[in-house]
């Protein structure tokens, strides 16, 4: 066994996106591709920061969503870590840790940081995607300063430091030695379960299942399965078989592990059957996203955040009230109305969970969420799929009301924010960029212009000044705000790996109860037409409509 250095060539495409570095598996499998990125990360972490903190001699957490290449990547990373001064790695058994679990382990074990191997909801398998992301000692995604420093390092990297020791056993719970480094293989569920126990009334939930409450949780053959089985069926006594597609598969069984009504269609079918269970939910590839459903009723993620905010004090972990709430800019303003009624600070951040980190760390918010099926709280620094499921179960347990009743009552009280997102996938990058450039140029001419009954009151390209550290993030999405509260937002995805994806977010507000039960796409068709008129999406892309509308 020896530590050795190997010369390497720069890859110029290793700038992390919305959530880490994501590429096709084939790209990651090129010689030195993963190695370069990890070496650059370790170099940056070893160059001590302003507070004198360096990785050298510290503990890292490591695990991933189990997708194809996860097990190989784990071995590569361990050997690089061992050669770069890491003292200890806490590795999820089998290389498995959900994204929320990584965050929980970092925080509970006071690790220096963690590496998450996941491309989240992107398809897996040899032809699918792979990804890697670094989380800092608060348990949350690295900030842009750090990710930019890693990118800069990848651009000048010339050498890898690694160990040529044999692979270690990643499946057995034990402590092993790799060069000077200890590798402790840990139970992937234990720390996470401990956090959930602190937040929720497990006795209440056990009682619900004893009295016959039924649910179907679709883990989509992804990493959420073992967590959902252990907690819902194991700890809480939900009927065996309540969690389906519960074994993580390297290719997610060919499913697209994105919990929305399009990709989790099987769940939608079950939840609209005559014998549907009381409650349904799905999680994504790395178990940080969630979709929740009642019988024949899908909850919009933006509404989910609003309802959680309205009812949070029913949950033991939040019984003393919330410090504030935050939502990403494209997420509907439903939560803003609740925050206003409760007198809570409400923050609007750019897309991506990393922007919530400072607010959570500074104690300015307790709950946060995104329209993209992500909700979470200050318990960790990632969104959390199973946490959201337990939250909604608890709301039903505490109120005795069904999901549909809870949501419809909410609309009566606060009004309804009709909401949809249209994705135009696989657009040529230059076409997408030209569309955004032209749209930005047209923005100044739009205020005051009427479209049907409504007029544009303000347009901008969203910019955010972080209230905690003052950092500024520009060009975060083009917004058209209307005088009746409606919004049309355009932005390009930062997580795709093929061409460009245009996301079009549409929202309108309805406070009249007799008009709160209309089909969403129908209600928002007028706004979709406005978007088409100002951006010419169809003409430019040659597509006759979005590839996905959720």
Catalytic residues: 120
- Determine contact, residues 257/263, Cβ cutoff 8 Å: yes
Binding test (CB under 5 A) with Zn ion, winner from 179, 201, 258, 284: 284
286 binds, among ligand G1P, Zn ion, none (CB under 5 to 8 A by kind): Zn ion
- CB of 129 vs Zn ion, minimal distance in Å: 12
120 is a contact residue toward Zn ion (CB under 5 A):
yes
Give residues 498-517 in contact with ligand G1P (rule: CB under 6 A): 503
The residues with which 291 forms a beta bridge, in sequence order, are: 282
Rounded to whole angstroms, how far apart are CA atoms 326 and 215?
Answer: 29
- CB of 12 vs Zn ion, minimal distance in Å: 27
Binding test (CB under 6 A) with ligand G1P, winner from 24, 494, 499, 548: 494
493 is a contact residue toward ligand G1P (CB under 6 A):
yes
- CB of 188 vs Zn ion, minimal distance in Å: 16
User: Please, what is the Cα angle at 479 between 356 and 20, to 5 degrees?
Assistant: 40
- DSSP states of 485-543: S-EEEEEE-SS-SSSEEEEEEEEEEE--GGGSSS-HHHHTHHHHHHHHHHH-HHHHH--
Closer by beta carbon to ligand G1P, 370 or else 507 = 370
417 binds, among ligand G1P, Zn ion, none (CB under 5 to 8 A by kind): none
541 binds, among ligand G1P, Zn ion, none (CB under 5 to 8 A by kind): none
- CB of 259 vs ligand G1P, minimal distance in Å: 11
Side-chain-side CA neighbours of 481 within 13 Å: the count stands at 12
In the shown chain, the binding pattern of residues 103 to 142 toward ligand G1P, with x for contact by CB under 6 A and - for none, equals: -----------------x----------------------
Q: What is the largest CA-CA distance in the chain?
A: 74
Nearest residue to 18 (alpha-carbon basis) of 347, 332, 355? 355
Nearest residue to 296 (alpha-carbon basis) of 261, 255, 258, 263? 261
Determine the interface stretch with ligand G1P among 345-353, 400-408, 436-444, 465-473 (rule: CB under 6 A): 345-353
372 is a contact residue toward ligand G1P (CB under 6 A):
yes
- DSSP states of 320-348: T--S-EEEETTS-THHHHHHHHHT--EEE
Nearest residue to 331 (alpha-carbon basis) of 349, 310, 316, 354? 349
Binding test (CB under 6 A) with ligand G1P, winner from 33, 353, 387, 509: 353
Binding test (CB under 6 A) with ligand G1P, winner from 59, 163, 221, 495: 495
What letter would DSSP give residue 173?
A: S
Query: In degrees rounded to 5, what are phi and psi of residue 255?
Result: -75, 155
In the shown chain, the binding pattern of residues 16 to 55 toward ligand G1P, with x for contact by CB under 6 A and - for none, equals: --xx------------------------------------
Binding residues for ligand G1P, rule: CB under 6 A, are: 18-19, 120, 328, 351-353, 370, 372, 374, 493-495, 503
């Amino acid at each position: 066994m020896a530590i050795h250095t190997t010369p390497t060539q720069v890859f110029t495409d290793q700038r992390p996106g919305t959530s880490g570095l994501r590429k096709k598996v084939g790209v990651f499998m090129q010689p030195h591709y993963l190695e370069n990125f990890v070496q650059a990360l370790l170099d940056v972490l070893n160059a001590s920061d302003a507070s004198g903190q360096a990785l050298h001699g510290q503990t890292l957490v490591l695990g991933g969503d189990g997708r194809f290449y996860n097990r190989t990547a784990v071995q590569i990373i361990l050997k690089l870590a061992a050669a770069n001064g890491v003292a200890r790695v806490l590795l999820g058994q089998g290389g498995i840790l959900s994204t929320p679990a990584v965050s929980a382990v970092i925080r509970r074990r006071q690790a220096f940081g963690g590496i998450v191997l996941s491309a989240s909801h992107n398809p897996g398998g040899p032809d699918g995607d792979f990804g890697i992301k670094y989380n800092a000692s608060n348990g949350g995604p690295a900030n842009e300063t750090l990710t930019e420093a890693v990118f800069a390092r990848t651009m000048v990297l010339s050498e890898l430091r690694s160990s040529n020791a044999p692979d270690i056993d990643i499946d057995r719970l034990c402590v092993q030695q790799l060069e000077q480094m200890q590798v402790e293989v840990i139970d992937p569920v234990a720390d996470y379960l401990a956090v959930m126990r602190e937040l929720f009334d497990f006795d209440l939930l056990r009682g619900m299942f004893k009295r016959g409450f039924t649910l179907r949780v679709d883990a989509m053959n992804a990493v959420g399965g073992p967590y959902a089985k252990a907690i819902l069926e194991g700890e809480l006594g939900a009927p065996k078989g309540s969690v389906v597609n519960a074994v993580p598969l390297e290719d997610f069984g060919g499913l697209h592990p994105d919990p929305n009504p399009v990709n989790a269609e099987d769940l939608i079918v079950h939840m609209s059957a005559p014998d549907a269970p009381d409650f349904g939910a799905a999680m994504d590839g790395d178990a940080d996203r969630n979709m929740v459903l009642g019988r024949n009723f899908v909850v919009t993620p933006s509404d989910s955040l609003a309802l959680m905010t309205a009812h949070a004090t029913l949950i033991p972990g939040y019984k003393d009230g919330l410090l504030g709430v935050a939502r990403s800019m494209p997420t509907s303003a439903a939560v803003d109305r609740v925050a206003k009624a409760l007198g809570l600070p409400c923050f609007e951040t750019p897309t991506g969970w990393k922007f919530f980190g400072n607010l959570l760390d500074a104690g300015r918010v307790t709950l946060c969420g995104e329209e993209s099926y992500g909700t979470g709280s200050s318990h960790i620094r990632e969104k959390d799929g199973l946490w959201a499921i337990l939250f909604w179960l608890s709301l039903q347990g505490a109120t005795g009301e069904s999901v549909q009743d809870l949501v419809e009552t909410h609309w009566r009280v606060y009004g309804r924010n009709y909401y949809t997102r249209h994705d135009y996938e696989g657009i040529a990058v230059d076409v997408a960029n030209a569309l955004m450039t032209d749209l930005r140029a047209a923005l100044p001419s739009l205020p005051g212009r009427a479209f049907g009954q409504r007029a544009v009151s303000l347009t901008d390209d969203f910019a955010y000044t972080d209230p905690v550290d003052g950092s500024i993030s520009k060009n975060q999405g083009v917004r058209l705000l209307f005088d009746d509260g409606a919004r049309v937002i355009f932005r390009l995805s930062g997580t795709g790996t093929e061409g460009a994806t245009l996301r079009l977010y549409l929202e309108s507000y309805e406070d009249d109860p007799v008009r709160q039960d209309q089909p969403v796409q129908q209600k928002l068709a007028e706004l979709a037409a406005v978007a088409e008129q100002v951006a010419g999406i169809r003409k430019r892309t040659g597509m006759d409509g979005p590839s996905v509308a959720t």
